[in-house]
Amino acid sequence: MTETNRIEYKRQLNDDNKFEKEVVAFLNYKDGGVIYFGIDKGGAYYPIDDIDGTQLKIKDRIKSNIEPSTMGLFDVSVEDDKVIKVTIASGSEKPYYIKKNGMTEKGCYLRVGSSAEPMPQRMIEDLFSKRTRNSIGKIESPINKLTFEQLKIYYQEKGKQLNDQFAYNLELLTKDEKYNYAAYLLADNNSISIKVAKYGTLTKAELIENNEYGYCSLVKATKQVLDKLELENKTVAQITSKERIESRPYDPKALREAIINAIVHNDYSNERPPVFEIFPDRIEITSAGGLPYSFTKEEFLAGYSAPRNKELMRVFKDLDLVEQLGSGIPRILEKYDESIFMFTDNFLKTTFTSRMRLGDKLGDNLGNKLGDLNENRKKIVMLMIENPEISTPQLSEKIGISETAIENNIRFLRENGYIERQGTFGGKWIIKD
């Protein structure tokens, strides 16, 4: 293994500021990166005398020597009991810089190839002018008197204590030392509520449940949403001629990751919480904000991480609701293809299709066959089952893609033996087993 634009090797942690340079370079780089301690430039292992002590020093130096705040943007772990792995996300408040050198070419660095290079002053000024200003860490809480008993209990359950300085330590204060919007979301009482709706049909025509989880600490609301979706994702037994097969409609790990991602990375600056919708054949999870700042779809799907709300990320990681930076999307894509994600300028929707529903409606053979289709093609087939006379414009409206895309998907389904058309005008769709 060799160093790359996203990987840096170091034998040990030295007293110079070369480590901070690398961290700053990765924070300013669009893809973030990883620094390994205990490996030399040639890729050979190099023993670290005090792994625990080195980890503490690494965390302290990142927190103390770099600005703006790096909270929620890095993770330190140990691999194989001998290598320290420092995962660094791309930051949303660029440019990051070494505190003692300030926002200058001696303080700001950018990853170029496999090295950290000084950032030109013009780029520093340009990035600073574009710095995100609607961060929930900068927005003042609409309520000044907040309590955090629920949050303290959750920390205690993990063997951790929140002391009198916790608001400062968790960066829940503005520069004027007033509670920020992150504090408001984590407080015992707020006006934020997460909607979990359940429908009796494939469209929103028949609402059978409308649950609201919120007006409390976002951590508590998150746990309530997780419990509700876990209940909906109950194990179903299928009896075949040979055996009894028990499985769930949705992969539980992928579903959990999608729920956490939607809540942690949601854009709360306009007071729009994420929405969870349960249909007979699918679960749709919609979060506000679209792609993270300056990210492309490809970078998002590759698992690169740029936490929109680093204060929430820090707390959720402390409470083991988040395991590691950038791990959520890859875990989802281990079980589902990229078509489950739909991106717009203002929203991100994730759709999980139930394999159980396909089996119930179509029989096991066709249900398994359709399991290989992408999400839009599954939706087309299910809507054709519900309404064999459904038109292309109707499919386009219900699924949310263009009529041209619908026609292309129908052509694929017909050419590959999934469906056929009976009649032309006034005809209907036939699903083939």
Distance CA 191, CA 185 (A): 9
CA–CA–CA angle 301, 299, 4 (5° rounding): 120
What pLDDT does 29 receive?
92
Residue 137 in any domain: the answer is no
Residue 364 in any domain: the answer is yes
Q: Is the pLDDT of residue 10 over 60?
A: yes
| Radius of gyration from C-alpha coordinates of the chain | 25
Kindly tell me the burial class for residue 56, based on how many C-beta atoms sit within 10 Å of its own C-beta (0-12, 13-18, 19 or more). exposed
Q: Of 122, 113, 36, 120, which is closest to residue 80 (Cα–Cα)?
A: 36
3-state secondary structure 327-363: CHHHHHHCCCCHHHEEECCCEEEEEEECHHHHHHHHC
Name the band, by pLDDT with cuts 50, 70 and 90, for residue 237: low
Looking at 210-318, list the stretches that DSSP marks H as alpha helix, in order from N- to C-terminal side: 218-232, 252-264, 297-301, 310-318
Q: Of 15, 25, 120, which is closest to residue 7 (Cα–Cα)?
A: 25
pLDDT, average across residues 25-50? 90
What pLDDT does 273 receive?
93
Q: Please tell me the least confidently modeled range out of 79-93, 126-140, 178-192, 387-401.
A: 126-140
Q: What is the signed CA dihedral for 323, 326, 331, 334, rounded to 10 degrees?
A: -160
Q: Is the pTM of this model over 0.75?
A: no
pLDDT, average across residues 130-150? 84
Residue at 211: amino acid letter: N
pLDDT digits over 356-374, tens only?
655 454 544 555 566 667 8
High-pLDDT (> 70) share of the chain, %: 89
CATH number at residue 359: 3.30.565.60
User: How many beta carbons lie within 10 A of that of residue 411, not counting itself?
Assistant: 10
Residue 14 in any domain: the answer is yes
pLDDT digits over 302-326, tens only?
777 667 888 999 999 999 998 766 6
Residue recorded with tokens 């529903």: 357
Residue 359 tokens read as 């089996």
What pLDDT does 364 receive?
47
What pLDDT does 190 receive?
94
Distance CA 328, CA 206 (A): 32
Whole-number average pLDDT of the chain: 86
Residue 122 tokens read as 């013009």
Q: For residues 29 and 73, state if they share a domain.
A: yes
Whether 218 and 320 have beta carbons less than 8 Å apart is answered as no
Peptide bond into 68 cis (omega under 30): yes
Distance CA 25, CA 119 (A): 9
Q: For residues 257 and 330, state if they share a domain.
A: yes
CATH number at residue 374: 1.10.10.10
Domain final residue pick, 369, 385, 419: 369
Q: Please tell me the least confidently modeled range out of 61-70, 80-89, 222-231, 385-394.
A: 385-394
Residue 341 in any domain: the answer is yes
Distance CA 166, CA 171 (A): 8
Domain of residue 179 covers: 149-186
Domain final residue pick, 186, 202, 234: 186
- Count of domains for the chain: 4
Q: Is the pLDDT of residue 219 over 90?
A: yes
Q: For residues 304 and 197, state if they share a domain.
A: yes
Q: Please tell me the least confidently modeled range out of 264-268, 353-357, 387-391, 407-411.
A: 353-357
Q: Please tell me the least confidently modeled range out of 159-173, 192-206, 348-362, 414-428.
A: 348-362
Distance CA 34, CA 32 (A): 7
Whether 368 and 346 have beta carbons less than 8 Å apart is answered as no
Q: For residues 27 and 153, state if they share a domain.
A: no
Q: For residues 348 and 214, state if they share a domain.
A: yes
Residue 159 in any domain: the answer is yes
| DSSP secondary structure string for all residues of 368-400 | HHHTTS-HHHHHHHHHHHH-TT--HHHHHHHHT
Q: For residues 231 and 337, state if they share a domain.
A: yes
Q: Please tell me the least confidently modeled range out of 96-100, 321-325, 331-335.
A: 321-325
Distance CA 117, CA 425 (A): 65
Residue 28 in any domain: the answer is yes
Q: Is the pLDDT of residue 345 over 90?
A: no
